[in-house]
DNA sequence: AACCAGGAGAGAG
DNA sequence: CTCTCTCATGGT
C-alpha cells in the first residue's frame, strides 16, 4: 500500500514545503503546542510575541514565572488561565527533572510518551506533535482534518486513527521531514477546501475525493 | 451573533 | 476500554 505516499505527493506538489512550526527553539515549540489547542495559529503568534517580551519563551523562564504573569501574556490564545497553569506545571517538571528539554533528546520514544502522556494538558494530538516536532520521532499526527480528509478519500475503511498512523508511517517510510510536511499539508488543505461550502473544483485532491465527486455530480 | 480555532478531560455505556 | 458530552475563551 502506497496510498499515503501518493496522497502526499499530490499535496506536496500543490503546497510545497510549508515549513511548519517555525520556531527558534524547542522550548518555543513545546509552549506553542499547548497554546495552539482549540486556537488559530495567528492568535498563538500574538501570544508568543507577548511571551517574548517578558523572556517567557523558555521553559526555565516559565517555571520561575507567576501563573498570572503568564496568563496575562497569552490572553490572545484563549483559555489563558487553563493554558497558563498547564504550561507552567509542564515546564516545571521538565526543568526539575531534566534541566532543559534538549537533555531529553536521548530518551527513547517510549519514555517520552510515558513522561509527556501523563501530564495534564497533553492529550493524544499534542503528545504526537511534541514527539514529531520537538523530538523528531516518526509519528503521524491525526487531527480532525486528517480524519475528515482520509475518510473522504477512496479508502474509508482506513479512517480509524490507529490505521491512519500505521499506514502513513509505513507508506512514508518513517521519514521525519515528510511526516512533518504531510501533517502541515493536510491541515492547510482542510482549512482551504474541507469546510462549509467548499470549492472542490480547486482542490488538488478532487480526483480522488468522494466528497468532491458527490458534489460535482448532478 | 453564531461559529470556529493546528483539543483535553471527565463521564457514560 | 471506547464512545460521547462538556468545558474553556478570543477572534471573526
C1' of C1 to CA of A181 (Å): 33
Q: Domains (ranges, CATH) in chain A?
A: 3-18+141-216 (1.10.1670.10), 26-133 (1.10.340.30)
C1' of B4 to CA of A150 (Å): 21
Q: How does pLDDT run across A164-204, given as a tens digit for each residue?
A: 999 999 999 999 999 999 999 999 999 999 877 777 888 99
HEC readout, A159-191: CCHHHHHHHHHHHCCCCHHHHHHHHHHHHHHHH
Chain A window 91-150: residues with CB closer than 7 Å to nucleic chain B are 119-127, 129, 133, 143-144
Closest to A180 in 3D by CA, of A64, A29, A27: A29
Q: Which nucleotide is nearest to A129 (CA to C1')?
A: B6
Q: Tell me how crowded residue A10 is: count the other CB atoms within 10 A of its CB.
A: 15
| pLDDT score, position A4 | 95
End-to-end Cα, chain A, rounded Å: 32
Q: How does pLDDT run across A8-20, given as a tens digit for each residue?
A: 999 999 999 999 9
C1' of C6 to CA of A79 (Å): 15
* A22-26 CB contacts, 8 Å cutoff, 24+ apart: A25/A57, A25/A58, A26/A101, A26/A102, A26/A134
A15: CB within 7 A of chain B nucleic strand: no
- What average pLDDT does the structure give for chain A? 93
Q: What is the pTM of this model?
A: 0.95
Answer whether A30's CB lies under 8 Å from A101's CB.
yes
Amino acid at each position: 500500500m502506497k496510498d499515503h505516499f501518493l496522497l502526499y505527493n499530490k499535496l506536496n506538489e500543490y503546497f510545497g514545503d510549508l515549513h511548519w512550526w517555525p520556531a527558534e527553539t524547542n522550548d518555543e515549540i513545546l509552549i506553542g503546542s499547548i497554546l495552539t489547542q482549540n486556537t488559530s495559529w495567528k492568535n498563538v503568534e500574538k501570544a508568543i510575541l507577548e511571551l517574548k517580551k517578558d523572556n517567557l519563551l523558555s521553559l526555565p523562564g516559565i517555571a520561575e514565572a507567576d501563573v498570572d504573569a503568564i496568563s496575562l501574556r497569552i490572553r490572545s490564545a484563549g483559555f489563558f488561565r487553563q493554558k497558563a497553569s498547564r504550561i507552567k506545571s509542564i515546564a516545571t517538571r521538565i526543568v526539575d527533572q531534566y534541566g532543559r528539554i534538549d537533555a531529553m533528546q536521548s530518551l527513547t520514544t517510549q519514555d517520552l510518551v510515558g513522561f509527556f502522556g501523563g501530564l495534564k494538558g497533553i492529550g493524544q494530538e499534542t503528545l504526537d506533535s511534541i514527539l514529531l516536532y520537538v523530538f523528531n520521532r516518526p509519528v503521524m499526527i491525526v487531527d480532525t482534518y486528517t480524519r475528515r480528509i482520509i475518510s473522504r478519500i477512496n479508502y474509508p475503511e482506513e479512517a480509524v486513527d490507529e490505521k491512519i498512523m500505521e499506514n502513513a508511517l509505513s507508506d512514508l517510510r518513517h521519514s521525519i521531514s515528510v511526516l512533518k510536511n504531510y501533517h502541515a499539508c493536510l491541515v492547510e488543505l482542510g482549512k482551504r477546501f474541507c469546510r462549509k461550502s467548499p470549492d472542490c473544483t480547486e482542490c488538488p485532491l478532487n480526483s480522488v475525493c468522494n466528497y468532491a465527486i458527490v458534489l460535482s455530480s448532478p
